[in-house]
C-alpha cells in the first residue's frame, strides 16, 4: 500500500448555528481547516474510510454539532466500492463535497493526520479495511510539535488538530469501527491498530441510520481509554450505549441482532414471492402486517419467543408443509427449511423440560432451554 499523503485541502462549507439561522460569527467553517470563523476553536480532522451514505449522514451530523459547540471540523474520505472508487466520478465527489468530505485516492491519504477515523464498509471488507487503516497509521510519525504526519512527507499543518479531552496535540488517533462484522475480525483489527499505536472503539449501529441519523442506537465496546476518548470527542451522537466490555462485544450484539432482522426480512420475501405466484400476495401481506401491528414492542417478542417453546413440535410439522408448498410454487425454501429444522431442534430440547409460566420473560424462556 502506498503511504503517500497528498490529500488536497478540503473545500470549505458552512454549517448553520444551533438556532438554524444562516452562517454568522457563531457558525463554524467545516472542511477548510482554518480558524477564521470568529472563534479560537481547535480544528478536528475526521476521516471516513468508506465514504457512503452512513459517512455522509454522520459527517453532516458532526458538522452540525460542531456548529453548536464552536469547533472547526474538516473531513476526508476514501471509498473503494464496486461502483465508487478512485478515480472517482465527478458526481460522487460532489455528493460527498456537499457534506464537506474531500475524497482521497488512498487510505493513507485519507487518514494522514486524522484525529478520528471511521471505518464503514461492507461486512466482507471490514477486516482488510481495518488492517489497511492500521498499516497507514503505523507508517505515521510524530514531529517535534506533536503533529501526526506521513513518512512520505505530508505537511505538518495538513493533519494538525486539537480536540478537547480526546485528540489533543500528539494524541493517538481514535479509530471507530462501524462495520457489521464478526467479533473475531474486530479483535484482529484491534490487535493491528494497537501495534500501530491507535486507539480503537468497536461501535455497532443497531438500527437504520437514514431514519435515526445521529440518534441511531450505537453500542460501543473497547478499552476504557478508547471509550473515554470517544465520549470526550462529543461528536453529536445522542443514543450511545457503552457495554463496558472488550472490543468485539458490540459486534457480537450486532451480529446476533442481525440473526433476527435479516432472517425476518428473508422470511418475508420468501413468503411474499410464493404468495405472488399463488395470486394471494395482498391476502398474506395484509395478514402479516395486521399481526405485527397488533403485537407491537415487547409483547411481540414475548409472544413469539414463549410461543415457540410451547408449540415447537407442531410448528416443525407445519413448516415441513410450508417447505413443500414453496417448492411446488417454484420458490426456494431457504428460510423455511431452516425454520423447520430449528423448530424440530427446539422440540427435542423441550422434550424433558417444563414450559415456563405465561408471565415469564423471554430471557427466562431462553434460559429454560439450557
The closest alpha carbon to 177, from 56, 47, 63, belongs to: 47
SS3 206: coil
User: What are 125's three cell numbers?
Assistant: 471488507
CB 161 within 8 Å of CB 115 = yes
CB 153 within 8 Å of CB 97 = no
Residue 224 class from Cβ within 10 Å (0-12 exposed, 13-18 middle, 19+ buried)?
Answer: exposed
Q: How far is CA 313 from CA 163, 306, 320, in A?
A: 58, 14, 11
List of long-range contacts for 105-108, beta carbons under 8 Å, 24+ apart: 105/78, 106/1, 106/2, 106/4, 106/78, 106/136, 107/1, 107/49, 107/78, 107/132, 107/133, 107/135, 107/136, 108/1, 108/2, 108/3, 108/4, 108/5, 108/136, 108/139, 108/150
Confidence at residue 139, expressed as pLDDT on a 0 to 100 scale: 75
Confidence at residue 370, expressed as pLDDT on a 0 to 100 scale: 78
Q: How far is CA 56 from CA 17, 61, 126, 130, 292, in A?
A: 19, 9, 18, 19, 32
Confidence at residue 41, expressed as pLDDT on a 0 to 100 scale: 59
Task: State the CB neighbour count (10 A cutoff) for residue 180.
Answer: 17
Q: How far is CA 317 from CA 157, 287, 342, 354, in A?
A: 68, 21, 11, 21
Confidence at residue 365, expressed as pLDDT on a 0 to 100 scale: 83
Confidence at residue 6, expressed as pLDDT on a 0 to 100 scale: 37
Cis amide bond preceding 87, omega within 30: yes
Rounded distance between C-alpha atoms, residue 181 and residue 187, angstroms: 11
Instruction: Report DSSP state, residue 112.
Output: T
Confidence at residue 170, expressed as pLDDT on a 0 to 100 scale: 63
User: What are 29's three cell numbers?
Assistant: 467553517
> Can you give the C-alpha Rg of the chain in angstroms?
25
Q: How far is CA 7 from CA 75, 146, 229, in A?
A: 11, 20, 26
Rounded distance between C-alpha atoms, residue 202 and residue 1, angstroms: 24
* pLDDT average per 10 residues of sequence, the chain (370 residues): 39 35 30 40 89 97 92 95 94 96 97 96 94 89 32 31 39 94 94 96 96 97 97 96 97 93 94 94 93 83 84 91 92 94 92 80 83
Amino acid at each position: 500500500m502506498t503511504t503517500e499523503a497528498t490529500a488536497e485541502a478540503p473545500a470549505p462549507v458552512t454549517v448553520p448555528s444551533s438556532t438554524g439561522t444562516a452562517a454568522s460569527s457563531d457558525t463554524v467553517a467545516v472542511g477548510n481547516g482554518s480558524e477564521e470563523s470568529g472563534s479560537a476553536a481547535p480544528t478536528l480532522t475526521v476521516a471516513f474510510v468508506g465514504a457512503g451514505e452512513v459517512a455522509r449522514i454522520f459527517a453532516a451530523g458532526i458538522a452540525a454539532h460542531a456548529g453548536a459547540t464552536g469547533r472547526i471540523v474538516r473531513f476526508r474520505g476514501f471509498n473503494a466500492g464496486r461502483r465508487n472508487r478512485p478515480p472517482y466520478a465527478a458526481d460522487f465527489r460532489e455528493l460527498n463535497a456537499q457534506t464537506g468530505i474531500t475524497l482521497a485516492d488512498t487510505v493513507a491519504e485519507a487518514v494522514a493526520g486524522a484525529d478520528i477515523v471511521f471505518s464503514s464498509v461492507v461486512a466482507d471488507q471490514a477486516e482488510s479495511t481495518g488492517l489497511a487503516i492500521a498499516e497507514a497509521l503505523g507508517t505515521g510519525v510524530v514531529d517535534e510539535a506533536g503533529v501526526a504526519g506521513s513518512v512520505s512527507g505530508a505537511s505538518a499543518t495538513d493533519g494538525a488538530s486539537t480536540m478537547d479531552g480526546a485528540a489533543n496535540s500528539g494524541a493517538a488517533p481514535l479509530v471507530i469501527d462501524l462495520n457489521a462484522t464478526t467479533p473475531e475480525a474486530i479483535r484482529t483489527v484491534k490487535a493491528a491498530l494497537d501495534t500501530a499505536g491507535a486507539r480503537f472503539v468497536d461501535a455497532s449501529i443497531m438500527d437504520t441510520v437514514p431514519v435515526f441519523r445521529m440518534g441511531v442506537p450505537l453500542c460501543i465496546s473497547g478499552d476504557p481509554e478508547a471509550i473515554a476518548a470517544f465520549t470526550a470527542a462529543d461528536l453529536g451522537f445522542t443514543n450511545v450505549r457503552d457495554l463496558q466490555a472488550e472490543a468485539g462485544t458490540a459486534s457480537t450484539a450486532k451480529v446476533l441482532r442481525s440473526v433476527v432482522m435479516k432472517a425476518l426480512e428473508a422470511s418475508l420475501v420468501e413468503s411474499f414471492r410464493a404468495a405472488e405466484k399463488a395470486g394471494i400476495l395482498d391476502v398474506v401481506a395484509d395478514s402479516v402486517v395486521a399481526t405485527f401491528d397488533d403485537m407491537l414492542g415487547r409483547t411481540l417478542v414475548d409472544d413469539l419467543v414463549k410461543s415457540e417453546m410451547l408449540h415447537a413440535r407442531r410448528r416443525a410439522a407445519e413448516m415441513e408443509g410450508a417447505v413443500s408448498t414453496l417448492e411446488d410454487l417454484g420458490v426456494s425454501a431457504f428460510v423455511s427449511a431452516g425454520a423447520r429444522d430449528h423448530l424440530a431442534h427446539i422440540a427435542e430440547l423441550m422434550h424433558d423440560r417444563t414450559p415456563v409460566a405465561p408471565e415469564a420473560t423471554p430471557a427466562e424462556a431462553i434460559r429454560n432451554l439450557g
